[in-house]
Homo-oligomer: A and B are copies of this chain.
Amino acid sequence: MTTFADIAPALERQAIELPSWAFGNSGTRFKVFTTPGTPRTPEEKIADAAKVNEYTALAPTVALHIPWDMVDDFAALSRFAEDHNVKLGTVNSNTFQDDVYKFGSLAHSDPAVRRKAIDHHLKCLEIMTEIGSRDLKIWLADGTNYPGQDDLRARQDHLAESLQEIYSQVSETQRLVLEYKFFEPAFYHTDVPDWGTSFAQVSALGDRAYTCLDTGHHAPGTNIEFIVMQLLRLGKLGSFDFNSRFYADDDLIVGAADPFQLFRIIVEVIRGGGLEVDSPVQFMLDQCHNVEDKIPGQIRSVLNVQEMTARALLVDRPALTAAQEAHDVLGANGILMDAFYTDVRPALASWREERGLPADPMAAYLASGNQSKIAAERVGGTQLSWSA
């Protein structure tokens, strides 16, 4: 039997990067609701992210989105983060909000538009060098809405060339991570719709190019843990964008829609070495807190990942292997379910206290008064959202 003491070292290593944009307002095409206390500057976003880390010790880094987090002095932003006990992490590019990108960016048929999009990524690499960030994460809104609107094959070739040029500027200590997405904002085709496409593209680039798996970016019914297994097996799983969904890319709190799926995903991460010391896998959230408070939403999210990781680590591997080899279907499944149904929360609470953390980070944060404090302080200015 695996005990909590056995799994504590792995839990102690666990780090989940927070996206700066999760602290800004978000919504749907129908409405973006605002919330009191929403940040008006990149610094306020980082301060909020730092609160999550303060209460959980799970979120030591903050991912930036350029240009949403564009500042004049990135060195200063970096120091601001360190003053709040977090570091700046992955840099996410954005080629979907300029008018010029209406019909694509890195896959666009016009070389001038591709040039502009490539240059944006080179600028991101410069920022990364300045702040010591390792990963350039590329998610593209490129695609079309109508059959015939553009040439799928030519676009894929354009994409390959654009990525090649960007990759040529990725330094030895940096990585390029290419995300895929089933649909949205394009509604007929997207240029990187599935893991196979991302895998083919990054394999053509080289060793420092990886795939990013966003848990909300698949067709209905897709067995995501299989893809996790396969990408780890192929050495190409670079990062996770965690969230959850009932329908499309709902961007709900990770673990909220299908906790058992999250469990199975983490079981495969562990099986493939993704939690080990030298793992190439970067864990990150990518969520939208449309109707719930943002800092508590992020706390809930990292706790969900932590709790599910604890359950996944508790799987009795020798017993599981024995049952699998005996083709004891119900026995093997039962061993997995035993771990899933184990209530790890009391043990985690004690363990947190041993480490000087609140036993219940959610309750502690809510009791701290920070939510009213920022609501009172952050008056005036413009609350940040996806459009700025």
Q: Is A157's CB under 8 angstroms from B30's CB? A: no
- Indicate whether A292 reaches chain B with its CB closer than 8 angstroms: yes
Please provide the chain A residues from 279 to 331 with a CB less than 8 Å away from any CB of chain B in the complex.
Answer: 290-293, 296-297, 300, 307, 320-321, 324-325, 327, 329-330
Binary contact track A45-89/B, C-beta < 8 Å → 1, others 0: 000000000000000000000000000000000000000000000
Expressed in whole angstroms, the minimum distance between the Cβ of A117 and any Cβ of chain B is 15
Q: Report yes or no: A247 in contact with B221, Cβ–Cβ below 8 A.
A: yes
On chain B, the residues within 8 Å of A156 by CB distance are 229-230, 233
- Inter-chain contact B26/A226, CB cutoff 8 Å: no
Known: A28-B184, A29-B28. A223 touches B189 (CB 8 A): yes
Q: Output the least CB separation between A146 and chain B (Å).
A: 4
Asked whether, in the complex, the Cβ of B150 is within 8 Å of the Cβ of A324, the reply is yes
Q: Which residue of B lies closest to A339 (CB)?
A: B148
Interchain CB contact under 8 A, A196 and B193:
no
How far, in whole Å, are A268 and B155 apart by their CA atoms in the complex?
A: 13
CA distance A151 to B272 in the complex (A): 11
Q: Which residues of B contact A174 (CB under 8 A)?
A: none
The contact string, 1 if C-beta is below 8 Å from chain B, for chain A 120-151, is 00000000000000000000010001111111
Q: A145-B329, A219-B222, A233-B153 are in contact. Are A252 and B187 (CB under 8 A)?
A: yes
Q: How far is the CA of A75 from the CA of B141 in the complex (A)?
A: 44
Q: Is the CB of B145 within 8 A of A229?
A: no
Contact indicator A290/B145 (Cβ below 8 Å): yes
Whether the Cβ atoms of A145 and B196 lie closer than 8 Å is no
Interface residues of A in 177-234 (CB under 8 A from B): 182-185, 187-189, 193-197, 199-200, 218-223, 225-227, 229-230, 232-234
Q: Which of B157, B188, B233, B252 is within 8 Å of A146, CB to CB?
A: B252
CB distance from A232 to the nearest CB of B (A): 8
A109 interface hit (Cβ, 8 Å) = yes
A-B pairs with the 3 shortest C-beta distances?
Answer: A196-B196, A148-B336, A219-B219
Please list 7 pairs of residues, one from A and one from B, whose beta carbons are closer than 8 Å in the complex, sorted by A's number. Answer: A103-B327, A146-B292, A147-B264, A153-B229, A187-B245, A188-B257, A199-B200
